[in-house]
Homo-oligomer: A and B are copies of this chain.
């Protein structure tokens, strides 16, 4: 067997690594108060893998022989666990369905190409056999982009790019690296850092997501204010299609008609299999620090970020948490940590002296990178805006801690799910003028959905990814519902949130993608004519619907998913 890393079949990340609140004394009381669940009781845990009814693979000998010829016997898997892992992303719906033995249409085979030539051979074989191809990176997708359509009668082939994991070359003059699509975030940064470079792309999924996956889903990382979204970072790329290979050379900008690069970015496997890309890379900065600030309330924080975006300042990270997320953040702090100490008596006293309502205070992080002189200059610029909007700095301790722990957050979800609390995230971009209205509307809509469903629920939010004209708001919600029908509750809440996004000037997603989960809202997001254009693109390039059919838009492919919820 090959040594491509694989997530645990029943949850996020590495086997053996789990969330613990042992050293976080405020965590359990917080969850009890906000969700009514005592998490100190042992959780249900996942079922045994043996209890799952994994349907047999439908792979034909003919296609198997071709795939073996393409990559060799040891780079093909048809075992039940590999098929289950590759049949799902890591959205809460995925995890609940796996635990409930609701396995849908699993791939019939997982194949691991080691080179672009291997990918060409795989694609040729699948196209000839009229098999469905689904590319697989780290498996962290949360919008249902990795699953075959229910009722898919054709063979389904999952292509795991994990062996294609190298930084192939660095153009040091241009600050460009040619990187294979299957490399996981940490493995890529190790290779870049060793030569003094960084991609600067750190999504929450970083540990279990890949360059190809980031491109295919229009990813964005926490330092996008400086490094850009993946659409800004990706300059050239190669993609294997039916019978041909797209090659876009690395150009900083261009006027070559409708942007083919921007059609591949976000295509979620529907146009072909991305094999490598030329990405902007940057010299590791001399100084990198994240400063923490408190605001008396979320909307003051938002207004400060809006003012920063219009100013000469150019921080690398901007992030303000609403009161709920601030409270959660403090409850999730270790006893000995500086986050835990943020609300020291001294700081509390200062806040009370300012007349702040301590239940409304909001924590913000702002990142700085560059030479020491530049970081000092930027902090000075930013500081004035913070003060002007009533904020106060509390140093770099909390930010440093956040920075170390940010990739551990997904483990909390499995912990909560074990204890009957499904939790998920939903994020949307919007103009600055819609930020407050959106926050009010989404939190109200979620609360109404909790109430309508008769469950206790919790929703929190942060702003992140500032642009000139707007930003992203990222909502995390959890419901106290261990019932068999909890996915209906989840759907009701998720639908309320997505519908509110669209009605208040947001889009279906800022950086998670569309997949199956968000496709019902696409006509509301980019208008029916926009969906028409995407459909014509997909149908024209892939008339037989072999490349990850049914994602982004449903039409024009055999079968329509029943997984996702329907909008009003």
Task: Check A429 for interface membership: any CB of B closer than 8 A.
Answer: yes
Q: Which of B174, B268, B513 contacts A469 (CB 8 A)?
A: B174
Contact between chains at B260 and A266 (CB < 8 Å)? no
Q: Give complex CA distance A70, B371 in Å.
A: 61
Task: Check A511 for interface membership: any CB of B closer than 8 A.
Answer: yes
Contact between chains at B174 and A253 (CB < 8 Å)? no
Task: Check A390 for interface membership: any CB of B closer than 8 A.
Answer: no
Q: A173-B431, A176-B431, A540-B539 are in contact. Are A255 and B511 (CB under 8 A)?
A: yes
List A493-518 residues whose CB lies under 8 Å from chain B.
Answer: 505-514
Interface stretch, picked from A90-98, A306-314, A328-336, is A306-314
User: Which residues does chain B contribute within 8 Å of A270, judged by CB atoms?
Assistant: 258
User: Which residues does chain B contribute within 8 Å of A553, judged by CB atoms?
Assistant: 257
Contact between chains at B259 and A220 (CB < 8 Å)? no
Contact between chains at A259 and B262 (CB < 8 Å)? yes
Contact between chains at B256 and A265 (CB < 8 Å)? no
Q: Give complex CA distance A112, B161 in Å.
A: 53
List A318-344 residues whose CB lies under 8 Å from chain B.
Answer: none
Contact between chains at B246 and A310 (CB < 8 Å)? no
Q: How many copies does the complex hold?
A: 2
Contact between chains at B429 and A529 (CB < 8 Å)? no
Q: Which of B254, B306, B374, B511 contacts A312 (CB 8 A)?
A: B374
User: Which residues does chain B contribute within 8 Å of A22, judged by CB atoms?
Assistant: none
Task: Check A528 for interface membership: any CB of B closer than 8 A.
Answer: yes
Q: A244-B532, A469-B174 are in contact. Are A263 and B258 (CB under 8 A)?
A: yes
Contact between chains at A509 and B256 (CB < 8 Å)? yes
Task: Check A537 for interface membership: any CB of B closer than 8 A.
Answer: yes
Contact between chains at B431 and A174 (CB < 8 Å)? yes
Distance (whole angstroms) from the CB of A452 to the closest CB of chain B: 28
User: Which residues does chain B contribute within 8 Å of A246, judged by CB atoms?
Assistant: 526-527, 529-530, 533
Contacts A251-B431, A282-B310 known; 13 new A-B pairs at CB < 8 A: A173-B433, A218-B256, A241-B529, A246-B530, A246-B533, A251-B430, A254-B429, A255-B509, A256-B508, A258-B266, A258-B537, A262-B262, A312-B370
Residues of A within 8 A of B (CB): 171-176, 217-220, 229, 231, 235, 239, 241, 244-268, 270-271, 280, 282-283, 306, 309-310, 312, 314, 370-371, 374, 377, 381, 429-434, 465, 467-472, 505-514, 522, 525-530, 532-537, 539-541, 552-553
Could you write out 12 A-B pairs with CB less than 8 Å apart? A174-B434, A247-B529, A253-B465, A254-B509, A254-B510, A255-B510, A257-B268, A258-B264, A258-B270, A280-B469, A314-B314, A532-B541
